[in-house]
Amino acid sequence: MIESVPDTIEKLQEGLLKKNYSCVELVDYYLNRIKKYDSSLNSFLTISEDSAYSQAKKMDKVLNGGSFSLSEYPLLGVVVSFKDLFLTKGIRTTAGSKVLQSYVPPYSSTVVMKLLSAGAIMIGKTNCDAWAHGASGENSDYGPTKNPWNKKYVPGGSSSGAAVSVSSDFSFVALGTDTGGSVRQPASFTNLVGLKPTYGLVSRYGVVAMASSLDTIGHFTKTVEDSRRILAVTGGIDNYDSTLCGEKGEKIGEKIKIGIPKEYFGEGLDLEVREIILKAIEILKKKGIAFKEVSLPHTEYAVPVYYVIQPAEVSSNLSRYDGVRYGNDRDSFGSEARRRIMLGTYVLSEGYRDAYYLKAMKVRKKISDDFDHVFVDVDAILCPTAPTPAFKLGEKANDPLKMYLADIYTASASLAGIPGLSIPAGFTKDKRPVGMQLLGKRFNENKLFDIGEMFQKLTNYHLEKPVI
Amino acid sequence: MLKKYRPVIGLEVHVELGTRTKMFCSCSANHFLAEPNTNVCPICMGLPGAMPYANKKGIMATIKAGLAFGCEINSFSKFDRKHYYYPDLPKGYQISQYELPICKNGYFDLKESDSKSKKIRIRRIHLEEDTGKLVHRTLEGRKVSLIDYNRSGVPLLEMVTEPDFESANEVDLFLREVQLAVRYLDISGANMEQGSMRLEANVSLCKEEDVFDLKKGIYPDYKVELKNINSFRFLKKALEFEFERQAEILSRNEKVVQETRGFDEVKAVTFSQRVKEEAQDYRYFPEPDIPLLTITVDIVEQVQKSLPELPSQRRERLMKDYFLSSNYTELLVSDLKRAEYFERAVILAKEKDIEINKVVGAMINQNLDIKFSEPAGLIKYLLEIKNKAFVSADEVVASIDVVIHENQQAVLDYQSGKEQILGFLIGQVQRKLKGKGEASLVSEKIKEKLKS
C-alpha cells in the first residue's frame, strides 16, 4: 500500500514510469483514504469505484505496453474528482439537489471526456451547494462538507467537496465550477490553487448550468504548475459550446508589473487576511516584480449587479426541472434555489426588466471596462480572494446577504469574464488558510501561472497539509 | 351590417424550415411520421448541461425569406429566451428572437387582379425553435398524455405582418403567396396538413368613421386571435364568421372580448379557447449560450445573388416571353413542380420547333405532364403528333358534333361563362380523333360551334 503520493503531476508520472506504483494502487490509496476519513468531511456524494478501477487497469495496460508517449496521455494516472454538476454517463449526477437525486445521465460532459481520454482516472462525484448556489457548501441537500483544516469551519463553496477532496488527499486534482467565485473562494479556504478560467475557454457542455453568461469550468490543484497542465487539457473549442473561441494569450515580458486595486483593501477586509496579502506582495517585490496601485471604480456595484444577473439566469436555467421529468417536482427545490428563482423571475418581469436586468447589464459593461483600462498598463492584478478566512458552519447560513458578500472580491472577474487564480498565501494564527487572487486579461491564464509559479518557488504554504 | 365596419387583420405565419438538421443540434429535422422520440438528443430534449449550437443553414434560410419579402436584414441579431411552462417545451423556455429579429420592415405587393395591387407591410421575420408534441391516448384503460420530442428544436420561421388586411380574400391570397414563395425559395415544404405551415390571425373591426385613424396607426382597442386553424379555407370561413360576430356585438354598443378563438370545422363557427386578461409575461432575455449574430453586407449580398425567381417574377416572365394567358400562367406558377417541368419542356420544344402553346395545352388540358414524368417524353410525343398527318377539317367538325351532343351540360356551362370548360371539350374532341386533330383548327371550329 502506498504511504503518500508526490506533489506534482510530473513527479507522480515519474513514479508510474519507474513502476514505484501502478494506477490501480493509486486508486486503492485514494479509495482507502476516502473510506477512512470522508465520513466526517462529507466531500463525496458518489464514489465511482468500478469505473475508477476499470480506467486504472486500462492506464496500467498503456503503461506496461511500453509504446506510448505522455503527450498522448498528459494526465496519465491523475486521479480526479468531479463536482456533482458535471454529467457523467451512467453515474448519478445530482447537482447537490434532491430534484436530481436519482438522475443518471445518458451522456458525459466535454470536460469529463477530455480528462478521461488524457489518461485521468475519475474517482467520484463531489458534494456542493445545490445547483452551485452558495459560498459555504451548506446549501447542499446532502449535508454540508466540512473543512479539513478545522471541521467546525466551512470549506467555502459552492465547489465545497471538490476543494476538500484535493486538500484531504481523496483525489489528486478536482474539477469544479466558478460562477461568482465557487472555485477560487474554496481554494482560498482549503489551501489550494484554484483556477477560474476566461469565460469562453473551457467548454461548459454537459455541466449543469447555473448562470450561463457567468459559469466557467475551473479546477483545484496543489500547485500552479499542475493547474496549467489541467487547463492545457480542458481548454479549447468543441462543437457543442458556441461561446468558446480559440483565442490565445500574450507571453509575459521581462519586466512584470502587477496592479493593486485600492477598492479591494477597504472596509470589510479581515485584518489578518490583509496582513497576509501585503506580505505576499513583499515576497514578490523582492523578486523584482513592480507593483502599482490601480483603481477599479465600479467594484462596489459588482455584488449587486451579480445578484441581479445571476438569479435571472438561474430562474431561466432551472425552469427545465418542471416536474415532468427527473422524478421530482419543484417542491424539491431548497430554499436558496427558491429564493433565486423568485428573485430572477422578478428582475426579468415586464416593467422591472429595464430597471433591474438591463440596468445591471449596463453596469456589468462598466465593470468589465474598468479591467480593460487597468490591463493596458499591468500584467495582472493581485488582491485577496475572499474578505475573510473560512467562517464557522452556521455562521452565515441564515443571513443570505452576509453570505452573498463572500463573493465581493470574486464576482467582478466573473462579470468581466476574465481569468482568476487563487494561490495559497499563508495562514491565520489559528491555522486557517488564506489565498491571494491573481486576475488577468482574457485568455492570459499563462501570465497568471507564470507569476503564481514564481510565488510557489519562493513559498512553502502550498506544501502544508491539514491533519484530519 | 358589415358596411358600418371595416375588418382590421394582421397575420402571424409559422413555417418550419426544411433544413437537414434541427436548429440547435445535429438531430434530423424530419419528424413527419417518424417513430416517436427517435430523432432526439440531450440538446433537443433539454437535458441538464446541454447547450444549443446554432444551425447556420437555418439562419441563411431566414435571411433568404427576408430578402424575398423586401425586409431589411439586421446586421446584429441575437436569440432570446422566451419563458413559459408547457410539457412539450423541455427547457421551460423557447429559444426565439425578441428585440433583434433577423429581418424587419418588409413588404409584399398583393395583386388582387391585374389592375389592383396593395402593399402589405411585414413587421418582422424571425427564427425560433419548434416545440415537442403532446399525444393524448388511452393506454391499458388509462388516459395518458405522451410527449414526442422529434419536433422539438426544428427551425421555425415566424413572419408577422402589420394589420394591413381588410378582407378574408386578401388574407387568403396573401397566405397562398407566402406558401408559394417559401416553396420557390426552397426553404420549406409549407405543408398545412403536416403542420409545416401554421396560421394565426388577429382580427378586429374598425368603425367606418374611424377608418382614417388606421392610416395614422391607431387601431381598434381590442383584437381577437384566431388560432389552431389548419387550412386556408377554414381560416377564410373563420374570418368571415368573426366579422359577423364582432359586428353584431359592436352594433349593440358592447365590447368584444379580447381572447383566443378556435374554429369548429363542422359547425363553421369560431369558439372561445382562452380569454387573455393581460398579456403573458415571457420574461425575455438574451440567450447567453449563443453569441450575437453578425450578418455582414457580404453575406446579405451573397444570399441576394442566390435568390431564385419568385412566383410574381415568374408570372410576369411567362406572360411576357411566351404570351401565355393569365389563366394558364397561374396554373403553371402555382405549382412549382409543374412550373419547372414547363421551363424544361420549353427549352426542348424550342430545339424541336414545337410551339409553346402546344406544350402548355398538352400540360394543362390533357395533363400529359403526369403521363410523361420527364419533359423529354412529352416533347417526343408532341413531335410525333406534329409529324403525323392531321385529319381533315370535315372529320374535325364531325367529332365536335359528337362531343357537343355527349356533353350538353359542359356546353351549357361554357355558354354561361365558364370559359375554362373549353379545354375539357377540346380534349374530348382530340380523344375521338386519337390526337390527330390540328390544335388550332379544333379550337377554332369548336368555338364557332359553341357560339351558335
pLDDT in tens, B154-194: 999 999 999 999 999 999 999 999 999 999 999 999 999 99
Q: How far apart are CA A198 and CA A217, in angstroms?
A: 9
Contact B285 A353 (CB under 8 A): yes
Grid cell for residue A352: 422591472
> Using CA atoms, how far apart are residues A458 and A284, in angstroms rounded to an integer?
8
CA-closest candidate to residue B203, choices B178, B240, B159, B157: B240
Q: How many domains does chain B have?
A: 2
Look up residue A198 and give its DSSP letter.
P
Nearest chain A residue (CA) to B280: A350
Last-in-domain residue among B304, B331, B350 = B304
Contact B91 A241 (CB under 8 A): no
Distance, in angstroms, between B329 CA and closest chain A CA?
47
Q: 3-state secondary structure string, B63-97? A: HHHHHHCCCEECCEECCEEEECCCCCCCCCEEEEC
Residue A171 annotated among the catalytic residues of the structure: no
- B363 contacts B338 by C-beta, under 8 angstroms: yes
CA atoms within 13 A on the CB side of B89: 16
- State phi, psi for B270 to the nearest 5 degrees: -90, 155
Flag whether pLDDT at B3 surpasses 80.
no
Q: How many CB atoms lie within 10 A of CB B222?
A: 15
Asked if residues A334 and A97 have their Cβ atoms less than 8 Å apart, the reply is: yes
Residues of B in contact with A315 (CB under 8 A): 283
From A83, A196, A396, A441, the catalytic residue: A83
Domain boundary pick from B247, B275, B304: B304
If we measure between CA atoms, which residue out of A355, A354, A335, A353 comes closest to residue A344? A353
What is the grid cell recorded at A122? 475519475
Give the Cα separation of B225 and B55 in Å (integer).
31
Among B244, B271, B304, the domain boundary falls at: B304
* Total H helices, total E strands in chain B: 15, 16
Q: Beta B155-161 vs B259-264: how paired, if at all?
A: unpaired
HSE, CB side, 13 Å, CA atoms: give it for residue A434.
Answer: 24
The verdict on whether A365 is a catalytic residue reads no
A240 and chain B in contact, CB less than 8 A: yes
Interchain CB distance below 8 Å, B283 and A345:
yes
- Record: contact A212-B288, CB cut-off 8 A: yes
Choose, from A22, A108, A158, A227, the residue flagged as catalytic. A158
Q: Judge: A107–B42 Cβ closer than 8 Å, yes or no.
A: yes
- Identify which of B120, B89, B95, B118 has the alpha carbon closest to the alpha carbon of residue B13: B120
- Classify the C-alpha dihedral A402-A407-A409-A412 as positive or negative: negative
pLDDT in tens, chain A (468 residues): 899 999 999 999 999 999 999 999 999 999 999 999 999 999 999 999 999 999 999 999 999 987 888 999 999 999 999 999 999 999 999 999 999 999 999 999 999 999 999 999 999 999 999 999 999 999 999 999 999 999 999 999 999 999 999 999 999 999 999 999 999 999 999 999 999 999 999 999 999 999 999 999 999 999 999 999 999 999 999 999 999 998 889 888 889 999 999 999 998 999 999 999 999 999 999 999 999 999 999 999 999 999 999 999 999 999 999 999 998 999 999 999 999 999 999 999 999 999 999 999 999 999 999 999 999 999 999 999 999 999 999 999 888 888 888 899 999 999 999 999 999 999 999 999 999 999 999 999 999 999 999 999 999 999 999 998
B54 and B147 housed in the same domain: yes
Are B195 and B213 members of one domain?
yes
Shortest alpha-carbon distance between residue B353 and chain A (Å): 56
Average pLDDT over residues B205-225: 89
Strand partners, B77: B293
Radius of gyration of chain B (CA): 26
With CA atoms as reference, report the closest residue to A131 among A105, A95, A157, A104: A95
Q: How close does chain A come to B54, measured CA to CA in Å? A: 8
pLDDT of amino acid A464: 97
Same domain, B152 and B237: yes
Residues 170-189 of A with CB under 8 A from B: none
Same domain, B296 and B320: no
Give the CA dihedral B171, B335, B305, B29, nearest 10 degrees: 80
Residues B298 and B333 occupy one common structural domain: no
Q: Which residues, 6+ apart, have CB-to-CB distance to A145 below 8 Å?
A: A41, A42, A43, A127, A137, A154, A155, A160, A161, A164
Q: How many residues does chain B have?
A: 452
Beta-carbon pairs below 8 A across chains A and B: 93
A243 at B interface, C-beta within 8 A: yes
Put the strands of the sheet holding B80-83 in their side by side order.
B93-96, B80-83, B285-286
On chain A, the residues whose CB falls within 8 A of the CB of B24 are none
Which residues of B fall within a CB distance of 8 Å from A106? 42, 47
Q: Do residue B441 and residue B401 come from a single domain?
A: yes
Would you state the pLDDT for residue B293? 97
Smallest Cα distance from A77 to chain B, Å: 27
Helix-helix angle B439-451:B393-406, to 10 degrees: 50
CA A84 to chain centre: 13
Amino acid at A57: K
Superfamily covering domain A9-463: Amidase signature (AS) domain (3.90.1300.10)
Q: How far is B150 from B170, CA to CA, in rounded Å?
A: 35
Per DSSP bridges, beta strands B259-264 and B224-229 are parallel
The residue to which cell 386553424 is assigned? B229
Q: How far apart are CA B237 and CA B242, in angstroms?
A: 9
Q: Which residue in A90, A82, A159 sits closest to A114, CA to CA? A: A82
* Range with the poorest average pLDDT among A241-255, B49-63, B137-151, B409-423: B409-423
List Cα–Cα distances, B434 to B286, B391, B407, B438, in angstroms.
68, 10, 18, 11
The distance of A306 to chain B (nearest Cα, Å) reads 15
Residue B366 has pLDDT above 80, yes or no: yes
Q: Do B359 and B432 fall into the same domain? A: yes
Q: Rounded distance, CA B234 to CA B231, Å?
A: 5
Asked if A436 and A280 touch (Cβ cutoff 8 Å), the reply is: yes
Indicate whether B209 and B346 sit together in one domain.
Answer: no
Q: What are phi and psi of B15, to 5 degrees?
A: -130, 125
What count of other Cβ atoms lies within 10 Å of the Cβ of residue A373?
12
Q: Provide the grid cell at B317.
A: 416572365
DSSP 8-state symbol, B53: -
Same domain, B104 and B209: yes
Domain extent at residue B394: 311-451
- Whether the bond between A158 and the residue before it is cis, its omega within 30 degrees of 0, is yes
Residues B87 and B170 in one domain: yes
Chain B contact for A381, CB < 8 A?
no
Contacts of B50 in chain A (CB under 8 A): 205-206
pLDDT for res B389: 67
Shared-domain flag, residues B179 and B321: no
Rounded-to-integer distance, Cα A31 and Cα A38, Å: 10
Catalytic: A158? yes
User: Are B328 and B300 within one domain?
Assistant: no
Q: State the Cα–Cα distance between residues B116 and A75, nearest whole angstrom.
A: 74
Which residue from B49, B54, B92 is facing A242, i.e. has the nearest CB? B54
Show the cell assigned to A398.
Answer: 441564515
- The confidence score (pLDDT) of residue B277 equals 62
Q: What is the pLDDT of residue A398?
A: 86
> Quick check: A242 contacting B, CB < 8 Å?
yes
* Catalytic pick among A97, A140, A182, A332: A182
**Listed range (A53-62, A113-122, B110-119, B201-210) with the worst mean pLDDT:** B110-119
Collect all residues of chain A within an 8 Å Cβ-Cβ radius of residue B283: 315-316, 345, 348-350, 353
